[in-house]
Amino acid sequence: MAQTVFAPWEDPEQKPLIEFRNVTKRFGEFTAIDDLSLNIYEREFFALLGPSGCGKTTMMRMLAGFESVTEGHIWLGGQDIINVPPNKRPVNMMFQSYALFPHLSIWDNIAFGLRRESKDKAMIEERVEEMLRLTRLTKFARRKPHQISGGQRQRVALARSLAKAPKLLLLDEPLGALDKKLREETQFELMDIQEKTGTTFVIVTHDQEEAMTVASRIAVMDEGRLVQVDTPDVIYEAPNSVYVADFIGDVNLIPGTAKPRPAEPEAPAPEPAPAAVEDAAPAVEGTSPEATAQAKVQTDARLPAPNARGEWLYKKVFARFMGQRDLATPQLPPPSPEELAAARKAEAKAAAKPAPAPAPAPKPAIKPGGILIDWAEGQPPIIAANGDPALDGKPVTLSIRPEKVTIDLEKPDRPNVLPGKVIDIAYLGNISTYHVELASGQMVKAQMVNARRLSNRHITWEDAVWIGFTETAGVVLEE
Amino acid sequence: MRRFALIAIPYFWLLILFLVPFVIVLKISLSDVALARPPYTPQLDLSAGWEGLRAFFSELDFENFVFLTTDDLYWKAYVSSLKIALVSTLLTLLVGYPIAYGMARAPNEWRPTLLMLVILPFWTSFLIRVYSWMGILSNEGTLNTVLLWLGVIDTPLQIMNTNTAVYIGIVYTYLPFMVLPIYSALEKMDESLIEAAEDLGCSKLAAFWLVTWPLSRNGIIAGCFLVFIPAIGEFVIPSLLGGSGTLMIGKVLFEEFFSNRDWPVASAVAVILLLILIIPIILFQRNEQKAREAEG
């Protein structure tokens, strides 16, 4: 859709609407913004994201004209605006506190900016009505700000800042005061309005979810510098630093040392790794069918009701490399008929996400190249096919999102498999996050969609489990 | 019951401290002057029973109020007092508003000190402060000496014993009563409102007039009442700083009570003064109430 095509930052022909050029801002000794350059394009929904004190609000206030620039220049639509007072800038701001004038009605609040331009009355009226319609506030036009709810006030603030049709709208933590549900609704409303009006939005927020939802691009800031400026998906999937990876969403950071990995696809590289796992792994899981069966029985004892789907999963995937049919244990779910299993196939396919990835090839082909990461004494190295071989010998951190980590009671056929123990389970309704302690003491979070009812959940506290992830799931970050 | 008790407390004090004295003053204003102690008749004699009460009420009349209309001294004094109180309230506002504004915009850590400085004059006696103004304003006073020495003037300015001195005295005395309510209104104001106004195209001055001023309105009203009401009945300042030409109702009241010993006329003057003050305030309050109700 339009959203995917919209990428003016990739087009060298495009002129940015806003250009920060080597901007520095100091408050006395303190440097709030440090030699920062940034381009923001027309019609963008640009998010400045960072913890408090990172300089994001200072950036916004410099755009609005409330803070002077110590060094450097800010260009807006081809005009250097650093000496333009706030009331002369084609920029409007939606304040964090909304800053609605308490002595004026909603109508007058929205008309406030238009009246300053001494436009004729009919035009003001028309524009205010239009804004009221856009923000669905027509009913409340005559009320005073203290007579409406927080969500409505937020919309008044938005209507007021949009009324003058600014080239650029600044939003300072606009949704901070709303409760979660209203905030989510409002985020979509904001996007909708941004699209309808075609205004460039710059939003300041410390809420990464909010930034991810609304923004076309996100600038992650830290201590007055831009750490990464990219689209939400790139920021999330390919953070350029440990800082970004850690700030955006939940993440597992596994520090280690890079070492080269044989490049040939047929090379025994994938083989030794799982083998090493098995050798190094404690004797909980042996290679002999006997031991596995024993382990299985032990596990079964804890299973209240292994259902048809689990059985199907086993047959389809795990049976190939684990101890064959005897482990399929058809006696376990006596009531489940074959038809039921077949009927649920489609559903199971969608729900059981860990399975499909390694399933297709009879022998999982692990992507060649990349590096191996030695992350703990006596543990097999982690395969990172997307790692830069040039990192050889350097300390690196593997950043991997919890939703890309699977958790199984049986050793799965995945490129990276690590044994561990479930320490904690955070049940969030739609998903569960398992905190798994690896043999080295490293904690890893794994997320599973709760496709089953809670009562059927078969992994529980203190279980010995295997976590697994693909060779490309993580991002190798240099320290 | 508890709610009733809570409401009863302020009403009780209002009754004791305002209504009872007012009824007494009203009663005296309806009596006749007499060479007696107290210097008016009739006296309420409760021992005479019902008859005595009737006799007492039959002797009360509006004679003194009628008398006030026959001598133009009284209404001239009222008008002059109103004028002096009004002008000095405006002057206090003009002086006090910038002070309050500056205090409200001062860095947080300064504010308690500034607040202290505003209240500090109260720590010395009011009379001493007015006397010290006599020392400053008189022909040989500090102000004239300094101005002469600087060569700004060659003959001393006649400030003492004029209305100007009264204005200076009132503005000086009542300044804290103007500053404090305005300060408290301004201090509560969210500074981002000014930024929002500027962001929407206001110059700094326009932002002040359209946002700051209306939002400090309640403080201004409270401050003006606090200055205007005591100023209109002011006695000490006009009699110490003002001259023979300064006509104020407080002075008239004092003369009637203590020089003429005509308590009934003095009481009538006081009752009229009270009406002059209370009626506009009641009308104003009702107006405000209506505006609030209209809002929702």
Predicted confidence (pLDDT) per residue in A86-98, tens digit: 999 999 999 989 9
Structure tokens given for B84: 């002096």
- Residues ≥6 apart with Cβ < 8 Å to A418: A277, A379, A380, A382, A438, A439, A444, A466, A467, A468
Rounded alpha-carbon distances, angstroms, from residue A92 to A214, B2, B141, B190, B195:
19, 52, 57, 18, 11
Q: ipTM value, please give it.
A: 0.79
Read off the pLDDT of each residue in A220-248 and give the average, rounded to a whole number: 91
Q: Which of A210, A230, A249 is the last residue of a domain?
A: A249
Same domain, A260 and A244: no
**Domains defined along chain B, listed by start:** 71-295 (1.10.3720.10)
Whole-number Å distance between alpha carbons of A396 and B117: 62
- Residue A139 has a CB neighbour count (10 Å cut-off) of 11
Considering the domain architecture, whether residues A234 and A262 belong to the same structural domain is answered as no
CA distance A78 to chain B (A): 20
Which segments of A227-307 does DSSP mark as H helices, in order? 232-237, 242-247, 272-280, 289-302
Enclosing H/E stretch for A156? helix A150-162
Q: Which helix (H) or strand (E) holds A19?
A: strand A18-27
Peptide bond into B107 cis (omega under 30): no
Is A153 touching B (CB cutoff 8 A)? no
A478: Cα within 13 Å, side-chain hemisphere: 7
For residues B47 and B59, the answer to whether their CB atoms sit within 8 Å is no
| Owner of token pair 């689209």 | A231
Beta strands in A225-359 (DSSP E): 225-230, 252-260
| pLDDT band (50, 70, 90) for residue A345 | low
Q: Kindly report the backbone phi and psi dihedral angles of residue A126, in degrees, each rounded to the nearest multiple of 5, phi listed first.
A: -60, -45
My answer on whether A308 and A222 are in the same domain is: no
Q: Which of B190, B200, B215 sits opposite A116 (nearest CB)?
A: B200
Q: Are residues A385 and A403 in the same domain?
A: yes
**A402 closest CA partner among A449, A459, A359:** A449
Predicted local distance difference test score (pLDDT) of residue A349? 52
Q: Are the CB atoms for B237 and B130 separated by under 8 Å?
A: yes
SS3 state of residue A377: coil
Tell me the CA distances in angstroms from A87 to A336, B101, B132, B190, B203, one per residue in order: 73, 22, 49, 19, 6
Provide the pairing of β-strand A200-205 with A45-49.
parallel
Write out the residue range of the structural domain in which residue A404 sits.
256-478
Q: Show the CA angle centred on residue A331, arms to residues A330 and A335, nearest 5°.
A: 95
Q: Are residues A224 and A282 in the same domain?
A: no
| CA A444 to mean position of chain CA atoms | 18
Are both A183 and A109 inside the same structural domain?
yes
pLDDT at A20: 93
Q: Which of A187, A219, A249 is the last residue of a domain?
A: A249
Q: Tokens 């008859």 sit at which residue?
A: B51
CATH code where residue A146 lies? 3.40.50.300
Q: Cα A378–A382–A386 angle (5° rounding)?
A: 160
Does residue A116 sit at the B interface (CB-CB below 8 Å)? yes
Query: Strand, coil or helix: what is B259?
Result: helix
> Residue A374's beta-bridge partner residues?
A257
Chain B residues with beta carbon closer than 8 angstroms to that of A57: none
Q: What is the pLDDT of residues A353-371, one digit of tens each?
A: 444 444 444 555 677 778 8
Residue of A nearest to B216 (CA): A103
The pLDDT of residue A441 is 86
One domain, residues A272 and A235: no
B229-249 burial, b at 16+ Cβ within 10 Å, e below that, comes to: bebbbbeebbbbbbeeebbbb
Record: contact A101-B192, CB cut-off 8 A: no
Q: A392 vs A230, which has greater pLDDT?
A: A230
CA atoms within 13 A on the CB side of B26: 9
What backbone torsions phi and psi does residue A478 show, to the nearest 5 degrees? Answer: -80, 145
What's the rounded Cα separation, in Å, for the pair B47 and A270? 120
In total, how many domains does chain A have? 2
Nearest to A438 by CA among A414, A415, A470, A416: A416
DSSP letter, residue A104: S
Give the per-residue pLDDT at B266. Answer: 93
* Most B-contacting residue of A112, A124, A153, A161 (CB-CB within 10 A), to test interface: A112
Q: Find the CB nearest B198 among A86, A103, A161.
A: A86
Q: Could you tell me which chain A residue has the CA closest to the CA of B212?
A: A101
Integer Rg of chain B from CA: 24
B237 residue type, one letter: I
The shortest CB-CB distance from A92 to any of B193, B200, B210 is to B200
B196 in contact with A at a CB cutoff of 8 Å? Answer: yes
Is B198 in Cβ contact with A92 (below 8 Å)? no
Residue A400 parent element (H or E): strand A395-400
Q: Name the band, by pLDDT with cuts 50, 70 and 90, for residue A322.
A: low
Q: Do B203 and A64 touch (CB under 8 A)?
A: no
Boundary (domain end) residue, out of A249, A270, A285 = A249
Q: Residue B5: is its pLDDT beyond 50?
A: yes
Residues A235 and A269 occupy one common structural domain:
no
Residues A57-85 have a mean pLDDT of: 92
- Does A297 share its domain with A414? yes
Partner A contacted by B51 (CB < 8 A): no
Cβ(A323)–Cβ(A289) below 8 Å: yes
Question: Torsions phi, psi of B287, nearest 5?
Answer: -60, -45
What's residue A457's pLDDT?
Answer: 65
What is the average pLDDT across B17-23? 93
Do A307 and A338 lie in one domain? The reply is yes
Whether pLDDT at A330 is above 50: no
* Distance to chain B for A103, nearest Cα, Å: 7
Q: For B218, which residue in chain A has the nearest alpha carbon?
A: A103
A contact test, residue of B186, B199, B213, B215 with most A CBs within 10 A = B199
Q: Does B192 touch chain A (CB under 8 A)?
A: yes
**A198 in reach of chain B (CB within 8 A):** no
A/B interface, count of CB pairs below 8 Å: 63
Q: What percent of chain B has pLDDT over 90?
A: 65
Show Cβ contacts of residue A348 under 8 Å, excluding neighbours closer than 6 positions: A309, A312, A313
Residue position matching structure tokens 């002999």: A288
Closest CA to A137 of A126, A146, A129: A129
Backbone angles phi, psi at A244, to 5 degrees: -65, -45
Put simply, whether B134 touches A (Cβ < 8 Å) is: no
Q: What is the pTM of this model?
A: 0.73
Looking at residue A280, its pLDDT comes to 39
CA distance, residue B176 to nearest chain A CA (Å): 26
Q: Give the residue-averaged pLDDT of B191-212.
A: 94
Residue that the structure tokens 């009011």 belong to: B126
Give the burial class of B25: count Cβ atoms within 10 A of its Cβ; 0-12 exposed, 13-18 middle, 19 or more buried: middle
Whether residue A236 is found in the same domain as residue A317: no
User: A442 and A372: one domain?
Assistant: yes
